[in-house]
Amino acid sequence: MTETHTLAIALHRRKVYTMATSYATMTRTAPRVPQGYSLPLTSTNRHNLKVVSNPAVSAPTPAPVFDLLVPLNKLVAGKTRREYLAGDAVFSQGDPANAVYFIQSGNVRLTVVSMSGKEAVIAHLPAGCFFGEASLAGQQARISSANALEFSSIIRIDKKVMQDLLHREPEFAEQFLTHLLSRNIRMEADLVDHLFNSSEKRLARLLMLMANFGQESKPIPVIAKISQETLAEMIGTTRSRVSFFLNRFRELGYIDYNCGGMRIDSSLVNVVLHD
């Protein structure tokens, strides 16, 4: 080892020793702070400091729900509003398909009649739904009939006006597309339900859907009065079977009747989930 190397090592050792000694001195002479005691902060006035608040970041405000009636109310030509009594026909099977309808309030039933005269219920639509939209896809004549189930206020929009509105209002078009997709999903679920579930499960599922359980909108525990014949048509069974199942549901506390209609309890889902 050369003399230069030996000198460098000695200087390095002395530097390390000096640093260690200084740290030990600082540790012995530093004031001790008792456990649980915090040192007071220096006055802000003394050093011309400014205290800036740091508020917690609040959750983003949810976007307001788009109101479909806003663009519809802007329409002047090509739009009409009419009130229908229970049983009134909005349109009939075979009528020209030249308009789209929006249920502002009430309920509408869609039915189809076969060549032999047998009638079947396609859908039961609550307020806030569109129907008759097949006219936008080139349908020339109605393949089903639409009737009000109760006093209903329905808006009729001419086909050409509706097409222009969809091109002019992107947000409205998005909501309308969501409606079409939701309707398609519901139809697929209805088909699976009809093919694989018993009539008892189909009835329980129908009542849950009518009460909006499992939907995005708020549940409606009391649904409007609806005949057993209509329920039987909607699930593809007989009125006597519907009567039998409704009595069983009532005995188990799943449903109840009052002057306003039928009260649906959320526990009715047990019938749907039971194997």
**Distance (Å, whole) CA 197 – CA 184:** 19
Q: Which residue has the higher pLDDT, 263 or 88?
A: 88
Look at residue 81 in the predicted model and tell me its pLDDT.
Answer: 93
Look at residue 195 in the predicted model and tell me its pLDDT.
Answer: 81
Domains identified in the chain and CATH numbers: 67-196 (2.60.120.10), 197-275 (1.10.10.10)
* Alpha helices for 114-257 (secondary structure H): 159-168, 170-196, 199-210, 228-235, 239-251
Structure confidence by residue, pLDDT tens digits, 142-160: 999 999 988 999 999 999 9
Structure confidence by residue, pLDDT tens digits, 99-139: 999 999 998 999 999 899 888 888 888 888 999 999 999 89
Look at residue 166 in the predicted model and tell me its pLDDT.
Answer: 92
Closest of 183, 87, 94 to residue 133, by C-alpha: 183
What mean pLDDT comes out for the span 217-245? 83
Look at residue 73 in the predicted model and tell me its pLDDT.
Answer: 81
Structure confidence by residue, pLDDT tens digits, 258-274: 767 888 888 888 888 87
C-alpha torsion sign, points 258, 261, 267, 268: positive
The H or E element spanning position 104 is strand 99-105
What mean pLDDT comes out for the span 216-237? 78
Q: Which residue has the higher pLDDT, 101 or 42?
A: 101
